[in-house]
Every structure is written in structure tokens, then in C-alpha cells.
A and B are shown apart, each in its own frame.
Chain A
Amino acid sequence: MTGALLVAGLSATAFGGALGVWRRAFSAGLWLQAAGAAGIAIAGFWALGSQTSLGEGFTSSFVPRFGVDGLSGLFLGILGLIAAPALVFSTRYLRPSLRGRAVGALTALFVLALALVLCARDPLTFLAGWESMTLVPAVVILVSRGADRRARQTVFDYLAVTHLGGAATWVAILLLAHAGAIGGHATIASGSGLQTAIALSALVGMGTKAGVMPLHVWLPRAHPIAPSPVSALMSGVMLKVALYGLVRVLVEWDGVLPVWFGVLVLAVGALSAVGGVVYALFEHDLKRLLALHSIENVGIIVLGIGACLVLRARGADLWAAFALAAALLHCVNHAVFKALLFLGAGAFERALGSLEIDRLGGLLRRMPWSGGAFLVGAAAIAGLPPLNGFASEWLTLQALLHVPRYGDVADGVAGALALAALAATAALAVFCFVKVVGLVLLGAPRTPAAAAAEEPPLPLRAALVFLALACVALGVAPGVLFGALVSLAPWPAAAGTHLGLHVPGTGSLPAAWIAVVLVGLTGALVLLRGRRRAAPAPTWASGQLVEPALRWTSAGFTKSLRLVLEAVLRPEREISSKTRGGVLQEVAYSGSVPHLIEARLYRPVERAAFRAAVHARRLQTGSVGTYVVYLIGLVIVLLAAVRLGVIG
């Protein structure tokens, strides 16, 4: 039944993608794809809820095999849950031009590639899916951006970084296949060199794909330039599928990892969480800002995985399972609100033509449906109760709090530091999204385009409102998924299913009650305040008139933090003034916060690579004579090696 629904969903997606290529069936094709995605979502969550395995099991041999189990089901559910509204959004967002139809068909291909990774049960299919889920978005960006030179450069960077990192994924999967450990059929000895090699290469390879700092450089460049529905799939689902691989390898197949590796994962997660949100704060382009926030949220998920690994190594199996459930719950939640925010950004871009954050403003009044949904998404990503981001952040905080409880001094203090980092991240996310909400939705429109913005057509609004409702539902009833997520741990662990999160050893999170109390109290206080008869008055600016020039900008609002973190962030600023005849003519100010990891780590590597290439090019002369010399040299070296007994 579930299997049939899944196959039907995947075929509908494929057929819809093919149908949409025909100009007159463009919209119908996208709707069919959306219906297929909805089928995938239902089948996936059903497989998660019933904990049944369909199809074949995992194998280490290189024979194509397909199947679904609980963990695959969860991520298939996420895939469908995000793809369906994104495709409904596409029906009116994409135009039935050649380019639009190509993007529509490629979206279907992207969904199928992601599903391939999740349903693969052998190393070869897994790696094939892994590569195609990297390549398809690159093609989408190239198609949608056409001849844009910078976009091509970005796609090149994206492919270079993810393929260099991706090599480590191959190493990890092939080592596992060689040891026969895929599917956990053979146990890898704890603390062995093989285990460490697999774990490290999985962290590098899959971490690159998930956008974990310091391997994230491709993400904030590639995500924003894709069309919004594809950005939503990239941030919402593709990163999650990479994390799915990480969970499979680190938690399921690679045995019980040593404590130090768990601490390393915690460190990487904390760096991504704090680093992602700090750079997002100083970003002025809405989609780039959202992409940087994906790094933050991936960091939070990785913190949950790290807590799981440390707790497992310390023998606290129940809390290790809770930590894993926290990470997986945040996967679902982040997918929902990040897709909502990317689609919302798409709706704004469609209405205004620009996403520079200082040139929007007042959109809540102009676009109440899209703006309201975006506001819900912003509050959810900021981790405010009673929305879904809060529930999974709460659970992750609890998991991190249990690291010092079961650990030694060193890993305990590491857990406490990660706890503090997550708390700071939550506060920074509030800071960042207050800024976004304020500049995009509130206040007066900052440009004529913003003042004339209009609500998008119904399918776009419907997709946004659906995702906003999902944020509320997952926030009010996070416990519905919790029981199933805990039992996904490959060791015995169980938790009851409630509406809220009832976790032993905590004060528990009665999420539905919190929502009722907060909404009820707010309503009561509004009623108590009575009818507002308010006299209008100008805003107070020390007696000045509030002119557009006095309006606060993104850079101004975040200046306090920039000054505090100056020693770490090294912001650059430049003030130049022109004077003529002793009279000041104009003053120009420019400031930016450079990304230190790029400037300090990648630039030098890049320069060294170019220098090495200059030298390497001398070998490549193009004259046949030189190549013959190379060949003769090689033969001599080989003969000498055989003679000396090095080879052969």
C-alpha cells in the first residue's frame, strides 16, 4: 500500500515533469508533479509512522537495490512536504517560456534524484543519486540564469567545492562497502583506524554537501541565484538529504564512535550555527541571508548529531536517541520554515524585482497574505514559542545539557560550550529576523516599487499559507513525531507519543498548552485594554521631522554587534570625501563584513592552486617530442622500480 503510493507519487512526478515540457500542458504538468510530491510525502510519513521496511534491505555489494525504511521514510516525507507547495508555487511563478519549462522539468528530475538517494539500498545507487542531486541544481541555475557570467562562475565554484568534498563521500561509502558494513551487517571495531577514516571522510564529504562550516563556501553563493522554488528545495531538502547520509554513516553503520569524534562534531556544529547566523546578520540580500541561515540551522542539526554521538559513546543510550530525535525534528522544522521563507522571498522578488533588504519595507500592509505567512516563518526560524523552531531547539538544548551530565570533564565542558553556543545562536537568530521582518514587512515602503507591490496570484499565496500552517501545526504538536523519531535510533529506545514533548528528566514542553495560554492571554489583554481611541502623532525624533534619510538601515541596526565583535569579524569600512576649494562636496561611505573563512582559508589555497597550475602547465607543451620523452621516462622509471623490487 505504502510502496504503491510511493511508486505512484514518483511516477506522477516523472510524468508531470515530462508533460510540462509541452507548452500547453505546462501548468498541468506542474500540478501533476505537485500531486506526485504529495503522494511521496504521505507514503514517506506513513513508512515512518508504521516503522515498516519496504522493498529490499541494505547491501554492500554493487547490485542496484531499492527500499524504504523508517529513516528514509522521514526524509521522503520532508521531500514531499516541501516539494508539493514549491511546485504549486511554481505553477504561476515560472513562465511557460522555454526557460521556465526547462526549469519545471528539471525540478522533477531534482525531486527524483533526491528520492533516489533516499531509496538507494546499495553503494552504487547511493553514490549515483548523490552525484545527480549535486549536478541537477547546477543545471537549473545555468538554465535559469542564461548567459550571466557571475552565475556561471558561481556554478563552477559550487561544483568544484562539492566535488572535491564529494570525493570524501566516495571514500567513506566505498570503505564501508569494502568492510561489508552498509546496513550494519558487519560491525566496525570501535576506535579502529578504519572507523576513524570512515567517520572523518563522511564528515568532510557529507558535511560539504550539507554546508557545514568551514566547508560551506558554495552554499551562500549557489542557493540564492536559483529560482525560488528550487532554492526552497535546495535549502529545505537537499541539505537534509546530505544530513541523512551523515546520520546513516555516523549513527547507524560506523559502530560506536569514540568520544573525541563526537566532540569534533559538536565543535563543527557550534561553529556552523554561530558563524552562519553572524554572517547572515550582516548580509543585505534577502536570499543570501536566508542561505546563510541554512548554515546556522544545519549547525543546530549537527549539534544534535554530535550530542547523540557523545552520549552514545558514554553509554547514555536513551538520551542519545533523544538527541538524534532532536536533530531529525529540526530537519523537518527547518525544511518547512526555510522553504516558506525562500518562497516568500520569491513572491517579494516577483512583486518588486529586487531583494536588497534596504529597498523593501511595508510589505505586510501591501501583501497581507504573503507577508503574514513570511512573518510566521520568521518567528519560527527565530525559535519563538509556540512555533516549530522553538520545539526542536528546546529538545536540542536539552540533549546538549545532558552531555555534561553523563560525560567526563573535557567532553562535559565541550557540551556546555555547545549549549552556550546554541543559546547565543537562538538570540542571534531573533536579532537577525527582527531585522528582516522590520526592513521587509514593517514600517513605510522604502521605494516606489515597494509602495506599489501587489499580492501574488492564488497558488503562490496558497503555498505560503500552507507552509505557515505547517509551522504552527508542528509547533503546537511536535510530540506527534517524537515517538517515531526516537525509535529510529538503531539501538533500543522508546518514548511515548503525546501532543507535546514529554521527556523524562525535563520539565517537558506542553506545546499545545503553551500556544493556548499565550494566545489566550494575548487575546484577554487586548480585550482588557478595551477599544483604542488613539490620537495620531508624528514619530518622535527629538523634534526633527522623520525623513526618508533618517530611516534605519540593516547596517545601522546591526552596528552594535559589529562593534562588539570587531576583534573577531574584522569589518572593513571606508569613508572618502571630496572637497573642492575647501568646501566638502560629497562623502562616500562603504562598509562590509568579509567572510573570514573565505578570506583566510580559501583565498590562499586558491592562489596556491593557481600558482601550481602555472608550473604544471609547463609540462603541457603540445609538442609530440616532449610527450615521447615523458613516455620513455615513465618506462625507465617503471623498469627501475621493478628491478628494485618496489613493484611487481
Chain B
Amino acid sequence: MSAASAASAAVEVLGGIALAPLLPGLVQHWKARLQGRRGPTPLQPYRELRRLWGKSMVDPEGAGPVYRLAPAVVAAALAGGVLLVPVAGAAPTLGLGHDALVLLGLLALARFAVAAAAWDVSNGFSLMGASRDLMLSVFVEATFVLSLAVGLLVAGTTDLRGVVAGTAGAGVWGNPALALGTVAFAFVAIAETGRQPVDSPDTHLELTMIHEGPLLEYAGRDLAYLHWAAAARHWLVLVLAAQVFLPHPRGVWAQLAVLPVTLVALCAALAVVETLLAKMRVLLVPRLLAVGAAAALLGIAAWIAGSA
């Protein structure tokens, strides 16, 4: 194992697990600033996690093994995703390989576990959130695959390490296919991370919850796992955006050096989007995602036309 690949493995694992909560923290911090509030520090998610870790748990009546196991399954699936998404063009295979489409399976597993837990306690608000989440996932997943397909076709492989290497350089802005893929992935990123205008992470009103809804009954360490999983989702999506769809240098060390800058910039962009746009009606979100899917399809057509 070369030094570069050891370093990228370290960034991948430590960054994904330890730094992930910083990303939603940054978004919240900047959002507050943009709205003229002082807001919490970017470290607030860590404080939340510490507080939750020390708390005792509450079990709703009738909760069974599925409810109790779900947070661990969700966190394990997301941790698997962290091992899977490489932060640079060279990373050792950490058991799971680096295939882009496996990531979709892991995210689906997490979604299944959360929604099944909602059924186990039969909480109406949890089920409402789960139902909306699953409905949106249909459109998110189609757009996700199409936007990834652009990157995969450009790089000629579905191995994400190869994709990171294959889309490196300033090619993103010169390649119309990749540019359209980037547009599509922007919609996916907002939907997957549960940010406005798709979902409002700050809401305390049960009726408007999507991703927060199924977490209503959880407390203590279970809730800590689920909060970490939500943060890890930010990490996965933003790392993919940075290393596939946004310009990134060719060398592995340079990729590792530029990644933090891009991630911080993406958090700032999410904060701006969240400040500028109000939450949409949930039934209109599929149309938004359809725009993304259409852009990705155009991108694929452009790639075929360009390569022929």
C-alpha cells in the first residue's frame, strides 16, 4: 500500500466517521448568519451527539426487535457507504469494493430499516414521514442513477476510484455531458441530504416532517446513531459531488488537499440555497427531480453523440 492510498484510506474512514457531523453543523451555522442570526457553532452536532449518548432511552409501547435493531442497521449501512465512497482516485478496497451501484443498495437498506421501525411502533407521524420519504425515494433513485450514469459513462467504469480519476481535471466545464450530470446531481444532493426546498431539517412540526418523522420516537444512543447517519449521508453525497461532478485535480495528494475546500464550499452553497428557497409542497418535489432526470438523460445523449 502506497503512502497516497494509505492517506486516502485514513481520510475516507476518519473523515467519514468523525468529520461528517461537521457538515450539517456548517450548513446550520452559515444559514443562521445569512438570516441575520448568530446561530449555533458548527460544532453543535457533536454536542448533540454527546448529550444524546449520555441520555437513557425510551421505548414506545409495543416496540419489537425490528424497532430496536433499526438504528444500528441504519448506522451500519451508512458506515458501509463511508467505506465505499472513495475520497480520492487511489484507495484500498475496504471490504466493500467501490462500486457506485452498491451505494444505492446500502441507502435502500437504511430506508427500509427506518420505515419498518416506524411500522413497528405504529406512530402515525413516523409513518407519514416514512411514506413521504419512500415516495420521494422512487424519483430520487431514478435521478441518482441517471446522474451517476453520466459520470460512469465518461469514466468508462462503475468503480468509483476509476470515476474519480476519469473525471479529474478541469474537464467538467468543457464536457457538456458532465455539466448536465452535475445539474442533475445537484437536485439529488438536496433531496438525499433532506434540505430545503425538499425537506426542512429545522422543522418541529410533525405534519411537515419527512426525514425527521420516523425518528420521533427514538431517544438516547439510538437517536445518536440516527443523527450520525443523517450527517454521514451529507458526507457521502457531498464527497461524490466534489470528486465526480465538480472540478478536482488529477494527483491523489492534490485531490486530498482540495477536498476540504470543496466540501466547505458545498456546505456554504447548501446554506445559501436553503436561505433563498422556501420548502416546496411535497407533492411537487417529483417534478423538480424530473427536471434533474431530464438533464441527466440529455447528458447521456450528449455523451453518446460526442463519443460516436
Which of the residues A423, A539, A542 comes within 8 Å of B142, measured between beta carbons?
A423
Distance in angstroms between the alpha carbons of A379 and B111 in the assembled complex: 12
Dominant secondary structure of chain A at its interface with chain B: helix
Give chain B residues whose Cβ lies under 8 Å from the Cβ of A505: 156-158
Nearest-Cβ distance from residue B90 to partner chain A, whole angstroms: 14
Q: A364-B64, A437-B116, A510-B97 are known contacts. Are A529 and B222 too (CB-CB below 8 A)?
A: yes
Distance in angstroms between the alpha carbons of A526 and B71 in the assembled complex: 9
Give chain A residues whose Cβ lies under 8 Å from the Cβ of B18: none
Nearest-Cβ distance from residue A226 to partner chain B, whole angstroms: 29
Q: Is A170 an interface residue (CB 8 A)?
A: no
Q: A398-B101, A416-B146, A513-B97 are known contacts. Are A424 and B141 too (CB-CB below 8 A)?
A: yes
Give chain A residues whose Cβ lies under 8 Å from the Cβ of B286: 564
Q: What range describes how many residues of A lie at the interface? A: 35 or more
Q: Mark B97-128, 1 if CB is under 8 A from A, else 0.
A: 11111101110110110011011111111010
- Which residues, 196 to 216 on A, are CB-close (under 8 Å) to B? none
Q: Is A492 an interface residue (CB 8 A)?
A: no
Give chain B residues whose Cβ lies under 8 Å from the Cβ of A426: 104, 108, 141
Distance in angstroms between the alpha carbons of A546 and B126 in the assembled complex: 13
Which of the residues A390, A419, A526 comes within 8 Å of B105, measured between beta carbons?
A390
Q: Is B36 an interface residue (CB 8 A)?
A: no
Distance in angstroms between the alpha carbons of A423 and B282 in the assembled complex: 21
Judging by beta carbons under 8 Å apart, are B61 and A539 in contact?
yes
In the complex, residue of chain B having the shortest beta-carbon distance to the beta carbon of A526: B72
Judging by beta carbons under 8 Å apart, are B96 and A514 in contact?
yes
Distance in angstroms between the alpha carbons of A365 and B64 in the assembled complex: 8
In the complex, residue of chain A having the shortest beta-carbon distance to the beta carbon of B65: A364
Give chain A residues whose Cβ lies under 8 Å from the Cβ of B109: 384-385, 518
Q: Is A647 an interface residue (CB 8 A)?
A: no
Judging by beta carbons under 8 Å apart, are A506 and B99 in contact?
yes
Nearest-Cβ distance from residue B118 to partner chain A, whole angstroms: 8
Q: Mark B149-161, 1 if CB is under 8 A from A, else 0.
A: 1001100111111
Q: Is B56 an interface residue (CB 8 A)?
A: yes
Name the residue among B116, B125, B222 with the largest chain A CB count within 10 angstroms. Answer: B116
Q: Interface size of B by Cβ–Cβ distance < 8 Å?
A: 92
Q: Is A149 an interface residue (CB 8 A)?
A: no
Nearest-Cβ distance from residue A549 to partner chain B, whole angstroms: 11
Judging by beta carbons under 8 Å apart, are B125 and A541 in contact?
yes
Which of the residues A365, A416, A434, A561 comes within 8 Å of B138, measured between beta carbons?
A561
In the complex, residue of chain B having the shortest beta-carbon distance to the beta carbon of A422: B145
Give chain A residues whose Cβ lies under 8 Å from the Cβ of B115: 430, 434, 438
Judging by beta carbons under 8 Å apart, are A540 and B125 in contact?
yes
Distance in angstroms between the alpha carbons of A540 and B125 in the assembled complex: 8
Q: Is B69 an interface residue (CB 8 A)?
A: yes
Q: Is A625 an interface residue (CB 8 A)?
A: no
Q: A379-B112, A431-B138, A509-B97 are known contacts. Are A420 and B123 too (CB-CB below 8 A)?
A: no
Which of the residues B65, B112, B156 comes within 8 Å of A384, measured between beta carbons?
B112
Judging by beta carbons under 8 Å apart, are B56 and A383 in contact?
no
Which of the residues B130, B134, B158, B225 comes within 8 Å of A398, measured between beta carbons?
B158
Nearest-Cβ distance from residue A514 to partner chain B, whole angstroms: 6
Judging by beta carbons under 8 Å apart, are B134 and A434 in contact?
yes
Could you jot down 12 A-B contacts, CB within 8 Å? A382-B108, A394-B99, A398-B158, A424-B139, A507-B161, A510-B97, A513-B97, A514-B97, A518-B76, A521-B76, A534-B56, A538-B61
* B→A interface (CB under 8 Å): 56-62, 64-66, 68-69, 71-73, 75-77, 79-80, 83, 93, 95-102, 104-106, 108-109, 111-112, 115-116, 118-125, 127, 130-132, 134-135, 137-146, 149, 152-153, 156-162, 206, 216-217, 220-222, 225, 282-283, 286, 293, 296-297, 300-301, 303-305, 308
